[in-house]
Amino acid sequence: MQTTKATRTQVAIVGAGPAGLFLSHLLHRQGIESVILEHRTREEIEGTIRAGVLEQWVVDLMNGMGLGGRMMREGHFHSGITLRFDRRSHHIDMAELTGGKRVTVYAQHEVIRDLVSARLEDGGSILFGVSDVQFHDLDGKAPRVSFRRGPDAPPEELRCDFVAGCDGFHGPARQAIPAAARAEYQIVYPFGWLGILTAAPPSHPELIYANHERGFALLSTRSPEVQRLYLQVDPRDDIANWPDDRIWSELHRRLEEDAGWSLTEGAIFQKGIIAMRSFVCETMQHGRLFLAGDAAHIVPPTGAKGLNLAVADVLVLSRAIDAYYKSGGMEGLEGYSATCLRRIWKAERFSWYMTTMLHRNEQDSPFEQRVHLAELDYLVHSRAAMTALAENYVGLPME
Ligand code: RFL
Ligand code: PHB
């Protein structure tokens, strides 16, 4: 009979996205061992184009952990954003409204590259390309995660004290919480984002969020040579229906304004369409399994909150695990889900607010469409409303 190879660690982490990688670094700094099981290859996770905006406290955390060197050299620091509607621009000076806080535009895959290389350099264990991850004995004190190092490799087992489900929205960890023990709250939006990367210089010094009668558009950046732009589209649309000239013509129309600003074009070298949803799973824990990041919640990208929330979850989790190893106390772990959900629901609210205010929803009545425009008009003329937006955008304080 074949015996299953078993290894032991303190925390088994499933998924090497931002949640899993930050958790492994945070635990390492507390002297706690972990192993990350990731089903994609290193090249795949380092090449997936996703988020761009880091909240101030995430940047401070990365710097405090000694992981921010390249980010500080190559990232872009934005102290404001521009809202554009009715063909006019309105600057929101976030730094002035929040006592000096700003956001950093530094691509998620660059964060991933920095975190993977630093973790491997300090002797961390990340197993790429694993398959068949399954959870066992989550209710007891000695949970196990079984897996294979590839589809044809023999089964192995990771024995541990805690399991962190950092495996994203489509991963298996959430399903390991019995359906009767969790409630799921969700909105699926009737629109998606077509995102492009283009080889062009920046067209504008800060991000532009545009509400236009043809739909939302967003201008973001990546580097002095590469820009990131998004267009609201039907989520079921096929990217083949979007040749480059159609994308540019739509971006020009939605981002243009009366004051004569113009968008700089370049070669499009990456494009794709993503659907948008809001989703929260309550509870985020079951026995010794703790969900973090997109495994437990999704926000539409309009508020730029997803990656930041994933980091917030694992900061709470790492502190609770540390307290357990230092004193045997379970309070932090028992309160994990409730602690995280307070921040998560505020980010859900903000992301939903930005999304509904800035997009054109064909299902909205003309009354609701007028209300969204009134909301924008109120926002840009009220210091109180702008402060509320700025406070949420740069990131609510981490306790
Ligand atoms: P991830 O990044 O999805 O990582 C999960 C990892 O788990 C692995 N996995 C498994 N591993 C082993 N076995 C299995 N069975 C597994 N199943 C899955 C996956 O391969 C993967 O490597 O989740 P995590 O770590 O929770 O991080 C969440 C963030 O990635 C996400 O919230 C952000 O990208 C959202 N987001 C944004 N967030 C921001 O904070 N600021 C932004 O500006 C921002 N813009 C965006 C975004 C997301 C976008 N897309 C594409 C959804 C813009 C876009 C367009
Ligand atoms: C990005 O640069 O990818 C980006 C910026 C702002 C958002 C979402 C995505 O709200």
Q: What residue ranges do the domains of the chain occupy? A: 5-52+107-187+277-359, 192-274
Contact 16, 46 (CB under 8 A): no
Q: How confident is the model at residue 304 (pLDDT cuts 50, 70, 90)?
A: very high
CA R_g for the chain: 22
Confidence of residue 260 (pLDDT cuts 50, 70, 90): confident
Residue 338's pLDDT is: 98
Pocket of ligand 2 (CB under 6 A): 51-53, 105, 207, 220, 228, 301-302, 304
88-92/103-105 β-pairing:
unpaired
- Give residue 284 CA to ligand 2 midpoint distance, Å: 26
**Three-state DSSP state, 265:** coil
Task: Quick: pLDDT tens for 105-130.
Answer: 999 999 999 999 999 999 999 999 99
Q: What is the pLDDT of residue 322?
A: 98
State the DSSP code for 59: H
* HEC string for 273-332: EEEEEEEEEECCEECCEEECHHHCEECCHHHCCHHHHHHHHHHHHHHHHHHHHHHCCCHH
Question: What does the pLDDT read at residue 52?
Answer: 87
Q: How close is the Cα of 10 to the center of ligand 2, in Å?
A: 35
Q: What is the pLDDT of residues 186-201, one digit of tens each?
A: 999 999 999 999 999 9
CA–CA dist 153, 86 (Å, integer) = 59
Distance CA 289, CA 54 (A): 27
Q: How many CA atoms lie within 13 A of 382 on its CB side?
A: 10
Distance CA 108, CA 168 (A): 14
* Rounded distance from Cα 109 to ligand 1 centre (Å): 10
**Ligand 1 lined by 68 (C-beta under 6 Å):** no
Alpha carbon distance 315, 114 (integer Å): 18
Kindly state the DSSP code that residue 141 receives in the 8-state scheme: S
Q: Stretch 336-362: mean pLDDT, rounded?
A: 97
**Mean pLDDT over residues 324-348, rounded?**
97
Q: ∠ CA(375), CA(54), CA(81), 5° rounding?
A: 35
- Domain 192-274: give its CATH code: 3.30.9.10
Mean of pLDDT values over 151-175: 97
Does 399 score more than 80 pLDDT? no
User: Distance of CA 133 to CAs 9, 38, 152, 267, Å?
Assistant: 16, 9, 14, 40
Give me the pLDDT at residue 2, please.
62
Angle at 342 between CA 294 and CA 81, to 5 degrees: 70
Residues facing 220 on adjacent strands: 228
Burial class from Cβ neighbours inside 10 Å (0-12, 13-18, 19+) for residue 256 reads middle
3-state secondary structure 102-124: CEEECCHHHHHHHHHHHHHHCCC
**C-alpha closest to that of 206 among 68, 71, 94:** 94
- pLDDT confidence band for 258 (50 / 70 / 90): confident
- CA 172 to ligand 1: nearest atom: 15
pLDDT at 269: 97
Average pLDDT over residues 76-96: 96
Per-residue model confidence as pLDDT tens digits over 28-46: 999 999 999 999 999 999 9
Q: Output the average pLDDT for the chain.
A: 96
User: Active-site positions?
Assistant: 78, 209, 301, 305, 393
Closest-lying ligand to the alpha carbon of 303? 2
d(CA 293, CA 278): 13
Ligand 2 centroid to 15 CA: how many Å? 22
Does the C-beta of 14 come closer than 6 Å to ligand 1?
yes
48-62, 282-296, 344-358: which has the minimum mean pLDDT? 48-62
Closest to 96 in 3D by CA, of 81, 108, 86: 81
Ligand nearest to the CA of 75: 2
295-306: b or e for each residue (b if 16 or more CB lie within 10 Å)? bbbbbbbbbbbb
Q: What is the mean pLDDT of residues 66-88?
A: 96
Instruction: Give me the pLDDT at residue 51, please.
Output: 82
Query: Does residue 282 register a pLDDT over 60?
Result: yes
| pLDDT value, residue 376 | 97
pLDDT band at 257 (very low <50, low <70, confident <90, very high): confident
Tokens coding 326: 């230092």
Q: Are 160 and 9 in contact (CB under 8 A)?
A: yes
Torsion of CA 301, 305, 306, 311, to 10 degrees: 160
**Beta-bridge partner residues of 278:** 187
Which CATH code is given to the segment(s) 5-52+107-187+277-359?
Answer: 3.50.50.60
In the predicted model, is pLDDT for residue 1 greater than 60?
Answer: no
Mean pLDDT of 332-354: 98
| pLDDT tens by residue, 204-223 | 999 999 999 999 999 999 99
Ligand closest to CA 351: 2
Mean pLDDT of 89-117: 97
Q: Which amino acid is at 304?
A: A
Q: pLDDT tens-digit profile of 315-330?
A: 999 999 999 999 999 9
Tell me what percent of the residues of the chain surpass a pLDDT of 70. Answer: 99
